[in-house]
């Protein structure tokens, strides 16, 4: 794990790091990733589970329902004429 | 302690032990039949829900978590939202954006984590039950450190509707209490299918009839690296189990050593996607400068309000799931989970449970925790992680005390959906175990 | 030049993909929303089964192999309209893979895959450039169809989109009057480096964007400048593409499995879904199978798929000539009239009329009158009179213009020449197709 990678990953994750933090995370993540190398020794397995138990074929019918009062959901949001406020797009 | 006195003393209890992030304002029990608390990553209509993170300050959910809803329907009164590691990221409840719960046996020590506030409440408050959430050991670890009983059921047993996600393929909601019988009683309340959580929809019937535990397997990998005192307490407990008619076998479970890295890869990969939604819009802090470009706005809010460990896990998870960074661990970790499950199934074909100490040491002092590296504290979970990775139900019972009087716990792991045999051994164990309650003074 | 498309089409479900919020248009922003489509902490997705059904239908129409098992993945990216900063989509094992679509029924355009995913919300800019977001659209189901770079020109891309989207509309029963925006990501390489134009709205813009980018790439190559592998966007007002960012990593979304939904065994569901042939395919197939003019096939299919079906039945039960003579003739001529009366043609009854003729029980004039009388509701004697009236008018005209008969032998369009005359004489009493069909019959009788 090098400093540049930590910076790139942080940028993707939308987290700003100071130089001190970059150094620190670089070391921590380096240690942790070296430990993860243990996985290379682990036996292989053909089964592929998304969950530890088999969750299969759970769907609902296409029936529209209004289960929440939209105004209650908007209660704590920063809104303008019912639109949710956000930052600049470009 | 009656419900009235608990409610009356609630604020003072909390000042001393710091188990709750938010507490009920309504101090009358009314027609409630019991009081309960829940970890603060379960949503509640009447109290702020932050999951230990400052980024969620001000989040008042419009809905109760399925488990909270069921506890209320059963006559429960929710008294508090329990402190925890931010989003469940920790082993000691010290990685919190808010207060850190104090161990009921020694205020200079941790409660364990990440459901530390829940275990603390269950230990301190009489006749109290608290719901915890386990991703990698977050119910059994604090139950063990706080000297109480705790169960994390099979993955998918309890609806996760209303749970603020850490790792969706790992998270399980369970029960912590001083009384073994409470585990069964309240698991029965919260278990069951819920159409709002597809992963809860495949479970078989929840059996609660008594089924005696006849044999346990102790994996050699589960008794390595123990502190002397934990080792001694555990060995004494094994003798006690034998005297109760439980066969004890020693087995090899070689896959257990791969469970740790596989768990951290899956958990952080999933966590980094779950936490992507916290960008300073819609809920929680929305106080950024909207004239910034969205990337900068999101970065600003996330940087200010996520804690140190949350950032570490986001970075780790982002790295491991992105092939572009050379992270190639995700697919392998998914395979290893299957290997570990198969290993458990093999051992559990001949035994009712796999047994080992819950934690390799007793509750550490805050001073010592602050000296641990990130990797050290990750590794402290090596005994609880395998069952969590496999989604198998596991239950921790108090099994002794060290020379400082700190509780030691041991953890039984049963096969998927076999909670019944865990309840039975917990109740049998309780009958002959001399539980030392902490001295509670306020 | 190579062009490949990624098209996003909205699926016409009544509720959203992972929550029960209604999908219908709503005047007020953030009204058809719930914790799930707002991405609120603690909320969870549950899959709408109909989305799988529509996905499978499109996969089958595109001749894709439908996977036995399918599941979802999380694609992480940050944008204000993406409520979870994660889009639930499909990565490996999508609904369908390796299909092919025949442009104009001939040129194969290979389909890489089709998967289903959720739509984000909508953003708009304010005067101070900050954004306002409406999540009503968040969670509406989409199908994404990805083609191989088999398309040769921007015009062909538009043609492909028009035909394929027309077929999907028909397949999913999306009314003609419903506005239905198709969004595309267009990949184009004139030389060796591929450029992606993101988020182009509609087929017309797809062609224009591709054209603008083609022109730019050609100019770059001529000037010996290097074309960057990048993502661009199309500005319709200036008719140019603009670079937005250079791809740093091939896989910048860090896909992982979606652990909240589990997996779906869709083989049985796929086997149980029978899709109707697309109109486009039906026209092409009928034209070649029955050796009829594409125009006639198109006329039948466009009038009604049931009419085209009757044509096939009659061709099978009797012969193609009977189908052409009767179904493409008087039945087709009166089809709309019957529909306008709010009635559904009884196929057995129509076949009965034709059988009477083929068995020699009635003359062809009588048969035509029976059919018309049944379908228009005009009684037989009046129909006979009308028909006689029409026939004598046409015969008069043909007597005066014998050249039509000889012209007709070279090109059957010559029959159209009678339309104007008859229409004028009768004040539009007969439909043009009825006139033409009758004229053809009478001309052919003069050979």
Check A73 against B390: CB less than 8 A apart.
no
Helix H or strand E encompassing C158? helix C154-171
The predicted model gives C320-337 an average pLDDT of 90
C243 interfacial to chain A (CB closer than 8 Å)? no
* Minimum distance, in Å, between the CA of residue B246 and any CA atom of chain A: 28
Residues of C in contact with A58 (CB under 8 A): 46-47, 261-262
Question: Is pLDDT above 60 for C249?
Answer: no
Identity of the residue in A58, A62, A86 whose CB atom sits nearest the CB atom of C15: A62
**Partner A contacted by C294 (CB < 8 A):** no
- Does A75 touch chain C if contact means CB atoms closer than 8 Å? no
Residue the block writes with tokens 């209604």? C22
Taking the CA of residue C268 and the nearest CA in chain B, the distance in Å comes to 19
| Interface contact C84-B197, CB threshold 8 A | no
Are the beta carbons of B294 and C80 separated by less than 8 Å? Answer: yes
Sign of the CA dihedral with B248 first, then B254, B255, and B261 last: positive
Give B27-83 pLDDT, tens digit per residue. Answer: 999 999 999 999 999 999 999 999 999 999 999 999 999 999 999 999 999 999 999
Residue pair C333/C431 in contact by the 8 Å Cβ criterion: yes
Residue B110 has pLDDT above 80, yes or no: yes
Q: Residues of B98-107 as b/e, b for ≥16 C-beta within 10 angstroms?
A: bbbbbbbbee
**Contact yes or no for B293 and A88 at CB 8 A:** yes
What confidence category does residue B187 fall into, taking pLDDT thresholds of 50, 70 and 90? Answer: very high
Residues of B with a catalytic annotation lie at: 39, 114, 138
**What pLDDT is recorded for position C250?**
47
Residues of chain A contacting residue B389, judged by C-beta atoms under 8 Å apart: 52
Q: Looking at A25-29, A41-45, C285-289, which range is the least confident one? A: C285-289
> Whole-number mean pLDDT of chain B?
96
Chain C stretch 179-208, residues whose beta carbon is closer than 8 A to a beta carbon of chain B: none
Q: Is the pLDDT of residue C176 over 80?
A: no
Q: Which residue of A has its CA nearest to B45?
A: A72
Which residues of chain B have a CB within 8 Å of the CB of C38? 282
Residues 64..93 of B with a Cβ closer than 8 Å to C: which?
65
Q: Is the pLDDT of residue B343 over 50?
A: yes
pLDDT score, position B324: 67
The pLDDT value given to residue B433: 96
Angstrom distance (rounded) from CA C385 to CA C383: 5
Out of A13, A58, A86, the one facing B315 most closely (by C-beta) is A13
Q: Look at B281 and A45 and tell me if their CB atoms are within 8 Å.
A: no
| A72 in reach of chain C (CB within 8 A) | no
> Chain C: residue nearest A11 by CA?
C78
Candidates B62, B168, B330; nearest CB to C259: B168
Of all residues in chain A, the one with the smallest CA distance to B389 is A52
Strands B247-251 and B215-219 turn out to be parallel
Residue B385, φ and ψ in degrees, nearest 5? -65, -45
Taking 90 as the threshold, does the pLDDT of residue C435 lie above it? no
pLDDT over 90, % of chain C = 59
The set of chains that have 3 or more CB pairs under 8 A with A is B, C
pLDDT band at B1 (very low <50, low <70, confident <90, very high): low
For chain A, domains (ranges, CATH) are: 3-41 (1.10.20)
The dotted CATH code for B3-255+335-432 is 3.90.1300.10
Distance (Å) from the alpha carbon of B152 to chain A's nearest alpha carbon: 14
Instruction: Pick the most confident of B176-185, B322-331, C391-400.
Output: B176-185
Q: Which two tokens stand for residue B99?
A: 């207060």
Helix, strand, coil percentages (3-state) for chain C, rounded to 5, are 45, 20, 35
Report the C-alpha gap between C87 and C74 in whole angstroms.
6
Across the range C201-206, mean pLDDT stands at: 92
C251-258 mean pLDDT: 85
pLDDT, tens only, C349-396? 999 999 999 999 998 888 988 898 899 888 777 777 777 778 888 888
Mean pLDDT of B207-233: 96
Among candidates B156, B255, B294 on the partner chain, residue whose Cβ is nearest the Cβ of A87: B294
Burial class (CB in 10 A: 0-12, 13-18, 19+), B32: middle
pLDDT at C233 over 60: yes
CA nearest neighbour of C394 among C380, C415, C412: C415
pLDDT at residue C105, rounded to an integer: 78
Report the pLDDT value the prediction gives residue C126, as an integer from 0 to 100: 84
Q: How far is A3 from chain B (nearest CA, A)?
A: 13
Helix (H) / strand (E) containing C321: helix C320-322
Q: Return the closest-CA partner of residue A1 out of A36, A22, A26.
A: A26
Q: CB-CB: which of B273, B283, B294 is closest to C40?
A: B283
Residues 6-65 of C with CB under 8 A from A: 13-15, 20-24, 28-35, 38, 40, 46-52
In whole angstroms, how far apart are CA C180 and each of B1, B217, C9, C176?
65, 62, 8, 9
- Please identify which residue in the block is written with the tokens 């074309």: C227
- CA of A75 to nearest chain B CA: how many angstroms apart? 9
Query: Mutate which of B47, B194, B282, B337 to disrupt the A interface (most A C-beta within 10 Å)?
Result: B282
Range from A55-59, A75-79, C175-179, C310-314 carrying the lowest mean pLDDT = C175-179
Residue B368 half-sphere exposure toward CB, CA atoms < 13 A: 11
Q: Helical H runs in C177-293?
A: 203-222, 267-272, 279-289
Residue C428 has pLDDT above 80, yes or no: no
What residues does each domain of chain B span?
Answer: 3-255+335-432
Nearest to A54 among B62, B202, B374 (CB): B202
């Amino acid at each position: 794990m090098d400093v540049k990678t930590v910076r790139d990953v942080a940028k993707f994750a939308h987290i700003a790091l100071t130089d001190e933090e970059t150094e620190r995370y670089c070391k921590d993540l380096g240690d942790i990733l070296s430990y993860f190398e243990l996985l290379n020794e682990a036996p292989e397995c053909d089964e592929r589970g998304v969950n530890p138990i088999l969750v299969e074929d759970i769907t609902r019918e296409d029936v529209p329902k209004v289960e929440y009062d939209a105004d209650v959901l908007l209660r704590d949001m920063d809104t303008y004429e019912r639109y949710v406020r956000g930052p600049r797009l470009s | 302690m009656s419900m009235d006195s608990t409610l009356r003393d609630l604020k003072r209890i909390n000042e001393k032990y710091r188990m709750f992030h938010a507490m009920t304002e309504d101090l009358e029990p009314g027609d409630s039949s019991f009081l309960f608390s829940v970890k603060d990553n379960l949503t509640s209509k009447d109290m702020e829900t932050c999951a230990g993170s400052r980024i969620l300050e001000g989040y008042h959910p419009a809905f109760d978590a399925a488990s909270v809803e069921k506890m209320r329907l059963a006559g429960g009164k929710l008294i508090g939202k329990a402190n925890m590691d931010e989003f469940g990221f920790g082993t000691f409840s010290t990685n919190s954006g808010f207060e850190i719960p104090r161990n009921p046996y020694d205020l200079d020590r941790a409660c364990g984590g990440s459901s530390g506030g829940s275990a603390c409440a269950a230990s301190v408050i009489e006749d109290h039950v608290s719901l915890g959430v386990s991703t990698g050991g977050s119910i059994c670890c604090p139950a063990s450190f706080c000297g109480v009983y705790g169960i994390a059921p099979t993955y998918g047993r309890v609806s996760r509707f209303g749970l603020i996600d850490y790792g969706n393929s790992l998270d399980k909601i369970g029960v912590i209490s001083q009384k073994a019988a409470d585990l069964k009683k309240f698991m029965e309340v919260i278990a069951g299918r819920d159409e709002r959580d597809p992963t809860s929809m495949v479970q078989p019937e929840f059996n609660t009839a008594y089924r005696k535990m006849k044999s346990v397997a102790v994996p050699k990998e589960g008794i390595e690296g123990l502190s002397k005192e934990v080792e001694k307490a555990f060995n004494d407990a094994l003798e006690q189990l034998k005297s109760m008619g439980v066969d004890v076998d020693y087995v090899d479970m070689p896959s257990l050593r791969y469970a740790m890295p596989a768990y951290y890869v899956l958990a952080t990969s999933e966590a980094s996607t779950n936490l992507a939604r916290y960008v300073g819009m819609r809920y929680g802090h929305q106080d950024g400068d909207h004239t910034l470009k969205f990337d900068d706005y999101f970065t600003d809010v996330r940087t200010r309000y996520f804690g140190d460990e949350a950032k570490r896990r986001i970075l780790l998870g982002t790295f491991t799931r992105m092939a572009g960074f050379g992270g190639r661990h995700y697919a392998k970790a998914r395979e290893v989970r299957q290997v570990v499950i198969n290993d458990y199934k093999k051992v559990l074909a001949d035994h009712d449970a796999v047994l080992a100490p819950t934690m390799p040491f007793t509750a550490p002092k805050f001073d010592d925790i602050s000296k641990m590296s990130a990797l050290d504290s990750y590794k402290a979970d090596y005994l609880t992680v395998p069952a969590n990775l496999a989604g198998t139900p596991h239950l921790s019972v108090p099994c002794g005390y060290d020379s400082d009087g700190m509780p030691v716990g041991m953890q039984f792991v049963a096969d998927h959906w076999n909670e019944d045999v865990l309840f039975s051994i917990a109740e049998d164990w309780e009958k002959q175990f001399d539980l030392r309650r902490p001295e509670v003074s306020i | 030049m190579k062009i490949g498309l990624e098209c996003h089409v909205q699926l016409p479900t009544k509720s959203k993909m992972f929550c029960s919020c209604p999908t219908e248009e709503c005047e007020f922003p953030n009204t058809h929303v719930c914790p799930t489509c707002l991405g609120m902490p603690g909320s969870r997705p549950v899959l709408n089964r109909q989305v799988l059904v529509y996905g499978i239908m499109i996969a089958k129409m595109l001749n894709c192999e439908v996977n036995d098992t399918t599941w979802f993945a999380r694609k992480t990216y940050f944008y204000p309209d993406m409520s979870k900063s994660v889009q639930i989509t499909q990565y490996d094992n999508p609904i369908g893979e390796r299909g092919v679509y025949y442009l104009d029924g001939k040129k194969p355009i290979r389909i890489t895959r089709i998967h289903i995913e959720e739509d984000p919300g909508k953003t708009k800019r304010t005067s101070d450039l900050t954004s306002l977001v409406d999540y009503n659209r968040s969670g509406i189901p989409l199908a994404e169809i990805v083609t191989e770079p088999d398309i040769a020109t921007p015009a062909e891309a538009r043609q492909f989109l028009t035909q394929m989207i027309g077929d999907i509309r028909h397949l999913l029963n999306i009314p003609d009057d419903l506005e239905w925006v198709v969004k595309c990501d267009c990949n184009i390489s004139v030389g060796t480096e591929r450029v992606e134009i993101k988020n182009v709205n509609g087929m017309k813009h797809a062609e224009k964007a591709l054209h603008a980018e083609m022109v730019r790439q050609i100019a770059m190559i001529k000037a010996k400048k290097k074309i960057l592998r990048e993502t661009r966007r199309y500005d319709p007002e200036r008719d140019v593409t603009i670079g937005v960012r250079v791809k740093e990593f091939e896989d910048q979304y860090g896909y992982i499995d979606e652990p909240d939904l589990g997996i779906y065994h869709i083989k049985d569901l796929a086997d149980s879904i029978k899709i109707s042939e697309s109109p486009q395919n039906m026209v092409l197939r009928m034209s070649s199978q029955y050796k009829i003019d594409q125009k006639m096939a198109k006329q039948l299919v466009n009038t009604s798929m049931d009419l085209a079906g009757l044509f096939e039945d009659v061709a099978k039960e009797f012969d193609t000539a009977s189908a052409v003579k009767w179904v493409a003739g008087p039945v087709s001529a009166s089809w709309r009239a019957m529909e306008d009366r709010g009635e559904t043609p009884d196929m057995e009854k129509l076949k009965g009329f034709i059988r009477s003729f083929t068995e020699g029980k009635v003359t062809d004039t009588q048969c035509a009158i029976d059919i018309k009388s049944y379908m228009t509701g005009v009684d037989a004697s009046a129909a006979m009179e009308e028909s006689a009236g029409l026939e004598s008018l046409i015969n008069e005209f043909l007597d005066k213009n014998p050249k039509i008969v000889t012209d007709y032998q070279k090109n059957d369009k010559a029959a159209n020449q009678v339309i104007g005359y008859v229409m004028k004489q009768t004040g539009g009493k007969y439909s043009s197709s009825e006139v033409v069909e009758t004229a053809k019959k009478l001309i052919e009788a003069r050979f």
